[in-house]
Chain A
């Protein structure tokens, strides 16, 4: 298992941040990142590009968990606050709008503007046609632009 410990230390924060941006929860993100790194550990000897594999696992698990949380929330009306995020009300307000995007659109926004992936790379990661990714990104940006106007 040469190199995994170094890989773990180098990628934990990034994996946790990516999961946080998709799920909106630091606590969930911590679990997702740990689970994803364990998945990398299990497949370590067979991976040509562990960084790319880690990203795929984080994105897929975050989307899966987020869908489950949305389903559960439909049956609950308890107050579920967003945790404080930054010191800047502008950032917090925009972040709240990003969180309100549908999970697919939010994931694409995060992959495009946080991970800096191309549309083609996002399409490959999400297993969707490039045209679908492009239209989803366009709709998400239009919605954010309207709400931030």
Chain B
């Protein structure tokens, strides 16, 4: 093993420690998780399931209430204040933004380019993260051309990050969505704009943590494939799920479904048109659905590339997902 490998391994080990400690810190949170049907469910599990369903309903009501607030109106020209603050700094083509995570500590956004499709993530913390935390750069360093992939530490101790890191495996062959067209200079400009124009005001209010209606996606997948679920990530306004071949052995994912919801402004009719792109080994098909979602299906050989389109057809027919951009207030306050 040469010196470079040793350096890479040490970086990886430190990254793993950071990831494991970060995930472990969330272990005490309440969980909203859709569990697959168990062959033998105990009474305790049934009660836990009922409680989870009640929490899910409560969360959905909270989201509907938040969505009904004046600053969350997403129809017509009444765009929320946070969007108007962010919009001037968005790279060209990334005009649609969803709030993917919002709590007392931070707000995360996802900007999409429905024509490519590409995804861009940015996060703003609401509270101090400690003095000069490791791995961050200052606003001055950013302005001087420092790597915009690292979080920016603001003078007041809070942080901003703008990156495509969730898509670092920038290859459709490896079940990711490319974002190579988001240049470092564009990300740097967005981070600088956020640092001076958005923080500390104009951030969305904390929203309830609630999963979107993944079950509808599952129905769409089950209706056209015979694959098994291989996990994924579920957020209020975006998520993905992967599927692999049935069998006892490990196999790489053949299908990945991604969705983005709650987009501001909503996709236009032309932006909702189905498109596809691909390489020799994989195909990505994406489309805006009538409920406002942008869905993507990435298929990898030997799965038939047409499968992605069939799944999107089925998803559109099932009208997946709660109306996170609904304007109707809930029946009870």
**Interface residue ranges of B212-228 to A (CB < 8 Å):** 214-215, 217-218, 221-222, 226-228
Pair B231/A99 contact, Cβ less than 8 Å: yes
Contact partners of B4 in chain A: CB under 8 A: none
Residue from B17, B31, B214, B228 within 8 A of A25 (CB atoms): B31
Q: Which A residue sits closest to B228, measured CB to CB?
A: A77
Closest Cβ–Cβ distance, residue A138 to chain B (whole Å): 10
Complex CA–CA separation, A69 to B203 (angstroms): 40
Complex CA–CA separation, A17 to B27 (angstroms): 5
Pair A26/B229 contact, Cβ less than 8 Å: no
Answer whether residue A114 sits at the interface, using C-beta atoms and an 8 A cutoff: yes
Pair B166/A84 contact, Cβ less than 8 Å: no
Q: Which A residue sits closest to B209, measured CB to CB?
A: A84
Main secondary structure of the interface of B (DSSP, over half): mixed
Answer whether residue B47 sits at the interface, using C-beta atoms and an 8 A cutoff: no
- Number of B residues near A (Cβ < 8 Å) is 68
Closest Cβ–Cβ distance, residue A88 to chain B (whole Å): 7
Pair B31/A27 contact, Cβ less than 8 Å: yes
Complex CA–CA separation, A94 to B181 (angstroms): 23
Q: Which residues of B come within 8 Å of A, CB atoms?
A: 8-9, 12-13, 15-29, 31-39, 48, 101, 103, 105-106, 108, 121, 123, 161, 163, 165-166, 168-169, 174, 209, 211, 214-215, 217-218, 221-222, 226-235, 239, 241, 243, 246-248, 250
Since A16-B28, A87-B105, A148-B169 are in contact, a sample of 8 more A-B pairs with Cβ atoms closer than 8 Å, ordered by chain A residue number, is: A26-B33, A79-B36, A79-B232, A80-B229, A83-B32, A86-B25, A87-B101, A141-B9
Instruction: Please name 13 pairs of A and B residues whose Cβ atoms are closer than 8 Å in the assembled complex, sorted by A.
Output: A20-B23, A72-B38, A74-B246, A77-B218, A77-B221, A79-B215, A81-B211, A81-B233, A81-B234, A102-B250, A144-B12, A145-B12, A148-B12
